[in-house]
Structure 1
Amino acid sequence: MPNVSEARGILNSADVLFTAEQVSAAVERMAAEITEKLGETYPLVLSVMGGAVVFTGQLLPRLAFPLDFDYVHVSRYGDKTKGGELVWRQAPKEDVQDRVVLVLDDILDEGETMAAIRDRVLNMGAKAFYSGVFANKLISKSKPIAADFVGIDVPDRYVFGYGMDVRGSWRNLLSNLCAEISRSVPPT
């Protein structure tokens, strides 16, 4: 974790990919798409901790239908920038049996985490599975899952802000949303 000065340096050297206004418009569009598709299903919405907290907190109030809410805590990253072995820290507490389930995450990177969540939720008896991600990373290889609802597409570079961190910092960015780290700052 950087100190305050280092964290500010990272932010100051970053490229802003999307403004707060662009991000808000993307979340508003996603809410409309989700409402149209799932508005009559009374879904169980699962947020993936901790990256999806900001996105989920902005999206849920815009969903104009009843829903149940829970979370899962699963990660391939830990304190690293490259994915590793999948670790389940918390499965859904709510019963998913015969439910329509919508899983929200900050980013669909390689898709391994979301695919594992999908498989687990369906194996637990969910009637249907949908995924929504704030950011879909455009990578050159195929992914095991495509998100049903996407806010923005981002290039295949390290991005942070709006729930995504850089060395533990800047998940809370709301004004320089989804800023990209400069190549001059090496990832840990």
Structure 2
Amino acid sequence: MSPVRLGEVLPDAELIHDRATLEQAIQRLADEIRGDYEGDMPPLFLTVMHGGMPFASQLAFALGERGLDLEFDYLHATRYRGNTSGARLAWLHRPATSLRGRRVLLADDILDEGHTLLAIKRWCEDEGAADVRTAVLAVKIHDRCVEGIEAEYVGVEVPDRYVFGYGMDFQEQGRNLPAIYALKA
């Protein structure tokens, strides 16, 4: 069976949050984050690749506009590898920057069940981070989130459906869509 192309599902997908709504949410998050980090050493801003890249970029610019300096690095850990359900966590890249004694701000696209973000957060703590906080563009509304993880900074909520766009993919497609969509229920 050949893979389904984004163009086959996008016309029937439901627009959940448009670009303007997402941009407003990112501006609000930047205000919240700046207030929590103001006056400290620049936090280590870790983008969770690939999905976190569009959101992290926009959030970093919004924080810069508010005078908050950041030190950048990234990590790539995944449970999906192009699938729609997760498996064991695979580390594809760990940050080159030492986390010891640092305040770390993780930026990711979505908090769904939280397995990946919890593993990443614990890894940061094990590496000696003084504080680890998480900013996500979206949180999926359901009761399956693992214990021990929640995002301190949340842009928008999304329904408990398959969502894509603004970093989130549909079969490795659509990450660059400037809005969030959901497959029809």
Segments of structure 1 that go 5 or more residues without pairing to the other structure are 184-188
Deviation for aligned residue 1:169 = 1.1
The letter for the 2-side match of 1:47 is: T
**Residues 172 and 2 (structure 1), Cα distance of their counterparts in 2 relative to 1, 3 Å cut:** farther
Percentage of matched positions with identical amino acids = 37
Determine whether 1:112 maps to 2:115. Answer: yes
- C-alpha contact (below 8 Å) 1:2/1:169 kept by paired residues: no
Normalising by structure 2, we get a TM-score of 0.92
Separation in 2, partners of 1:101, 1:44: 5
Match of 1:60 in 2: 60
Match of 1:178 in 2: 180
Separation in 2, partners of 1:2, 1:40: 50
Match of 1:24 in 2: 23
Deviation for aligned residue 1:2 = 5.0
Structure 1 residue aligned with 2:167, among 133, 154, 163?
163
The letter for the 2-side match of 1:50 is: H
Deviation for aligned residue 1:9 = 2.3
Helix, strand or coil for the counterpart of 2:20? helix
Structure 2 residue aligned with 1:128, among 131, 140, 146?
131
Separation in 2, partners of 1:20, 1:141: 28
Deviation for aligned residue 1:39 = 2.5
Normalising by structure 1, we get a TM-score of 0.91
Separation in 1, partners of 2:38, 2:12: 42
Separation in 1, partners of 2:173, 2:50: 13
Aligned length: 179
Helix, strand or coil for the counterpart of 1:17? strand
Deviation for aligned residue 1:66 = 1.2
Segments of structure 2 that go 5 or more residues without pairing to the other structure are none
